[in-house]
Structure 1
Amino acid sequence: MSVPAVVIAAPASGSGKTTVATGLIGALRAAGHRVAPFKVGPDYIDPGYHALAAERPGRNLDTVLVGHDRIRALYAHGSAGCDIAVVEGVMGLFDGKIGGSDTDPSAEGSTAQVAALLGAPVILVVDARGHSQSLAALLHGFATYDPAVRIGGVILNRVGSDRHAEVLRAACARVGLPVLGVVARLDELAVPSRHLGLIPAVEHGRAAVAAVDAMTVLVAESVDLAAVVDAARSTAAAPAWDPAAELGEPPTGSRVSVALAGGPAFTFGYAEHRELLDAAGADVAVFDPLCDPLPENAAALVLPGGFPEEHAGALSANSSLRTALAQRVAAGMPVHAECAGLLYLARTLDGHPMAGVLDVAAEFGRTLTLGYREAVALTDSPLWSAGERVTGHEFHRTRLVGDIGAEAQAWGWRAWGGNSTREGFVHGPVHASYLHTHPAGNPAAIGRFVRAAQRFAATGG
């Protein structure tokens, strides 16, 4: 039997999903449950808080990046050994990729779509500020909009008083939806944020642990946990995702060391990435570019996304790592760099010297670049062959400035309005881009990357 799940969704962004979902994960774990935490969409930050609450990795479920057919398998893989799962939604319940079908009620990549694929009930978190009896009409619309999505209950968040709660309970009863919790309005629970959302748990340190503990206590005191467990339903059964099977063939050659940047500056990554690297024949060595050297015998390097602009001075100060990295790339070491990784490979970031592998400069900008991209590889690289199509996601406020130079470009796609866009770089063994990809959606690329590392190691590099 598959693991029962509840999906924590909301009518709109900013309703308190992360507080409720994280607190619910922590409260269920404290009550003795083995909880599997998930996040809908490409978000990297919320899963870090989920992981603190669950004491196991937070994972993502994104139909756009990995395809519909992998959602149930990735869920089965991530929930193995657990007795309940909590899936936090993205934006509003029916929000997703812009420009999808005109006939499907739930957008591609939406929380509703994932809930329907799993067959899991939705618990709707409603920001109660400003709501009274008219809440019944809003809930009626959400409960009937898509027949494939079942609303299993409501958690009223940011409720102002007992009288306010009584009025809202009556509104929920009017449309036949049970109230599973009433959470009071508490401003002190706010988690510090910055330009891309919450500050990642790794950077927030002890304050993140304290925030998760506070969320756990709040939900434990405000939500009927037994009712939530009772509302959870077994998900659609599916064989668990298997990284070795996804690669399609057993690894060949000797195992090699692949360095993976971590620490406060490089926090954006998927748990399945390490699992695929391992299955392909790599021993993953995590290091912190703020203070660590390049791992010994590294035959390849992965530089994921994150917030290097917040740590540019410290990254620059680790000059021995910058020098060693440039030398290893010149010798042919494969590098897979996404977003933060691209910035680290530049000459400078906000005036601070970086690795200088790419002849570009970067700076913090005023405009947020955000959205899914249907991209085609323009240049052969250690991961992709020219002409391959990939779905990725951009999420950054930095930009490249000055003369971009003559580097071969990595990706091309049609921007909003149809304009052609070229982005990213292929520089010898380096693939560097702002585009985030999900390794589970592109397992063959991970296999190629490890084989490139094996070839480099065989040369004595």
Structure 2
Amino acid sequence: MSTTVPRLVVAAPSSGSGKTTVATGLMAAFSAAGLTVSPHKVGPDYIDPGYHALATGRVGRNLDAYLCGPELIAPLFLHGAAGADLAVVEGVMGLYDGAAGQGDAGPGGRGDLGSTAQVAKLLRAPVVLVVDASSQSRSVAALVHGFASWDPQVRVAGVILNKVASDRHEELLREALDASGVPVLGVLRRARQVRTPSRHLGLVPVAERRTEATESVAELAERVRSGCDLEALLALARSAPPLPEEPWEPPAPAPVPRVRPVVAVAGGPAFTFSYAEHAELLRAAGAEVAVFDPLRDTELPAGTAGLVLGGGFPEVYAPELSANEPLRRAVAELAASGAPIAAECAGLLYLARELDGAPMCGVLDVTARMTERLTLGYREAVAVCDSVPAVAGTRVRGHEFHRTVVEPEAGASPAWGLSWGGSRPGRRLEGFVRGAVHASYLHVHWAAEPSLARRFVNGCAEGAQSVGKGVRHERQR
């Protein structure tokens, strides 16, 4: 059975061209016009999907061919786009930029894996190229021609010109592009910058500035609505062919746990980094997911049998997290009871003894501090020892994205053995396995390895059953 989903990929020649501005503006403009819009982001980024969700009222979802494998891209897309009138996919970096040295040889050579171009091909989706035209006129035609002809399997079907200075500038650009065969579908004038503040890891997340972010998204929608041909863009999206793949669904465990354990998942402004599929996988594996805010809640959710601490910005909120002593104590007591805890990046810092001198939960005998150095990149990982989410030898792909360091870098039982390629290949042991605690800097997309969620929930169910926590499943007939 094939599925028809009108769809567009919004790409650019390079970062900084205006992809996020245009993609978010399109999502908001089409939503304001009454369409149900499904938002997607190529790559591992957690922040842009928050703005996409604000623009559409639907969960923003990632499509990362490195983390999940090319074979999961269309199924994950169809899962997220169910019931939508239109899907808008924001690209990452330049159109043809992927994981360095990874992927199949082809028009772009090695480095295609995880690129926007690869995702566009996997989705059979037309690409709209956002071009920063601020310092060029006729040269724009050569640039667009190069991107449109580089890979014949990538359909660059339209251009949106960004930062156009004047009517005369627009006239020169359109004249140059007439011969390219790629239509101009929008022109955005150079204007006052929409307020989208950034800091050390990119845009400030929506959860930290919801009122301002709502105003920013509304302004982007109006700018795109007035500068782009929405009817032509919608017609282009509707030209995408049906997809033959089946939508992804989180696999149900066999057998179903006798107890439905409560798994507390950290949220709020300090813990905003999570893939939507993680909660879906936890529920499918038999968990009752309860979200809490470590900044404001003084207790863990009632009946908590396991804890998931995702990524975010604890370094920004270290004083406030430290001041919530009742919750820090509750987390430490939960760990001491043997309940499973899975922590990534921000979660690792929260479990440390201290972060930049501020006391944290003290579950792990490590200290954490902020630095100027950015650790960034995809990683191959293998589980070094058995833990609640993974058996020794389990192989996954993940990514790191942080400016903090922990000392020591790994415990006596490390969480992962990491390796990476590219121009500066390397390997190292990283993270901590201590009892039922698994903590690491590595972000992993569980949809690529659903066994992580199943094992974690099974561990929670065993503990919940022994102490009478959780919600019992009804007897199956």
TM-score by length of 1: 0.97
* Contact preservation (8 Å) 2:253, 2:286: no
* SS of structure 2 residue aligned to 1:137: helix
Q: Deviations over 1:338-392 (max 9, x none)?
A: 0000000001111100000010000111111111001111011100111111100
State the distance in 1 between where 2:99 and 2:54 align. 29
Alignment of structure 1 residues 233-252 onto 2, 5 Å: 233-244=240-251, 247=252, 249=254, 251-252=256-257
What is the DSSP-based 3-state SS (H/G/I as helix, E as strand, rest coil) of the residue aligned with 1:189? coil
For residue 191 of structure 1, report the CA deviation from its aligned partner: 0.5
Contact 1:262 1:287 survives alignment (8 Å): yes
Say whether residues 1:170 and 2:175 are aligned partners.
Answer: yes
Q: Is the 8 A contact 1:159 1:184 kept in 2?
A: yes
Partner residue, 1:16: 18
Q: How many angstroms apart in 1 are the aligned matches of 2:57 and 2:216? A: 15
Identity score, percent: 56
1:83 deviation in Å? 1.1
Distance of 1:172 and 1:250 partners within structure 2: 60
Does the 8 Å contact 1:117/1:236 carry over to 2? no
Distance 1:123 1:15, change over 3 A: same
- Cα deviation code 1:25-63 (max 9, x no counterpart): 000011111110000000100000000000010001111
Asked if residue 433 in structure 1 is aligned to residue 435 in structure 2, the reply is: no
In 2, distance between residues paired with 1:350 and 1:206? 30
Which of 397, 401, 410 is the equivalent residue of 1:391? 397
CA distance in 2, matches of 1:440, 1:346: 28
1:399 maps to a residue whose letter is V
CA contact (8 A) 1:250 1:280 kept: no
- Quick check: 2:345–2:441 contact (8 Å CA) kept in 1? yes
CA distance in 1, matches of 2:420, 2:35: 45
Deviation at 1:186, TM superposition (A): 2.0
Structure 1 residue 284 corresponds to structure 2 residue 286: no
Tell me the residue number matched to 1:318.
324
From the superposition, tell whether residues 397 and 235 of structure 1 become closer, same or farther in structure 2 (CA, over 3 Å). Answer: farther
Report the alpha carbon displacement of residue 456 of structure 1 after superposing the two structures with TM: 1.0
Query: Could you tell me how far 1:428 is from its partner in structure 2?
Result: 0.7
- How far off its partner does 1:415 sit? 4.2
Question: Alpha carbons of 1:347 and 1:105: their partners in 2 closer, same or farther (altered >3 Å)?
Answer: farther
The question of whether the paired residues in 2 share the 8 Å contact of 1:7 and 1:89 is answered with: yes
8 Å CA contact retained: 2:410, 2:430: no
Candidates 121, 136, 142, aligned match of 1:131: 136
Partner of 1:96: 98
1:325–1:355 Cα contact (<8 Å) kept: yes
Are 1:334 and 1:430, in contact at CA under 8 Å, matched by a contact in 2? yes
Deviation at 1:236, TM superposition (A): 2.0
Structure 2 vs 1, CA of residues 19 and 111 (structure 1 numbering), >3 Å: closer, same or farther? same
Tell me how far apart the structure 2 counterparts of residues 89 and 145 of structure 1 sit (CA, whole Å): 17
- Cα distance per residue 1:207-234 (max 9 Å; x no partner): 1111111111111111110010011124
- SS at structure 2 position matched to 1:94: coil
Whole-angstrom CA distance in 1 between matches of 2:91 and 2:187: 19
- Greater displacement, 320-329 / 250-259: 250-259
Q: Which residue of the partner structure matches residue 458 of structure 2? A: 451
| 2:67–2:398 contact (8 Å) kept in structure 1 | yes
1:338 aligns with 2:344: yes
- Residue type of the partner of 2:120? A
More off after superposition, 152-161 vs 235-244: 235-244
Match of 1:421 in 2: 428
Counterpart of 2:305? 299
- The within-5 A match list for 1:76-225 is 76-101=78-103, 103-106=105-108, 107-225=112-230
| 1:29 to 2:31 alignment | yes
Give SS of 1:36's match: strand
Unpaired segments of 5 or more residues in structure 2? 470-477
One-letter amino acid matched to 2:315: E
CA distance in 2 between counterparts of 1:412 and 1:180 reads: 47
How many Å apart are 1:459 and its aligned residue?
A: 2.0
Correspondence for 2:263: 258
The residue type equivalent to 1:459 in the other structure is: S
Output the amino acid matched with 1:151: V
Counterpart AA for 1:353: P
Question: Residue 379 and residue 22 in structure 1: after superposition, are their counterparts in 2 closer, same or farther (change >3 A)?
Answer: same
- Give distance in 2, aligned partners of 1:178 and 1:153: 5
CA offset digits 1:135-187 (Å, max 9, x no partner) = 11111110010111001100001111111111111122121111110001123
SS of 1:43's equivalent in the other structure is: coil
Question: How far apart are residue 239 of structure 1 and its match?
Answer: 1.3
Tell me if structure 1 keeps the 8 A contact 2:332–2:361: yes
Find the residue that maps to 1:129 and give its secondary structure. coil
**TM-score by structure 2 length?**
0.94
Amino acid aligned to 1:10: A
- Please tell me whether residue 274 in structure 1 is matched to residue 279 in structure 2: yes
Contact 2:47 2:273 in 1 (8 A): yes
Q: Distance in 2 between matches of 1:212 and 1:304?
A: 26
Q: Distance in 2 between matches of 1:405 and 1:270?
A: 25
1:188-218 deviation line (CA, Å, top 9, x unaligned): 3140000110001111221111111111111
Change (3 A) 1:252 1:406: closer
3-state SS of 1:243 partner: coil
Q: In structure 1, what is the equivalent of residue 475 of structure 2?
A: none
Q: Residue 307 of structure 1 aligns to which amino acid in structure 2? A: F
Task: Identify the residue that residue 69 of structure 2 maps to in structure 1.
Answer: 67
**Aligned counterparts of 1:359 and 1:314: Cα–Cα separation in 2:** 21
Q: CA RMSD in A?
A: 1.3
Q: How far apart in 2 are the matches of 1:105 and 1:359?
A: 50
1:5 aligned to 4, 7, 17, which one? 7
> What letter corresponds to residue 337 of structure 2 in structure 1?
A
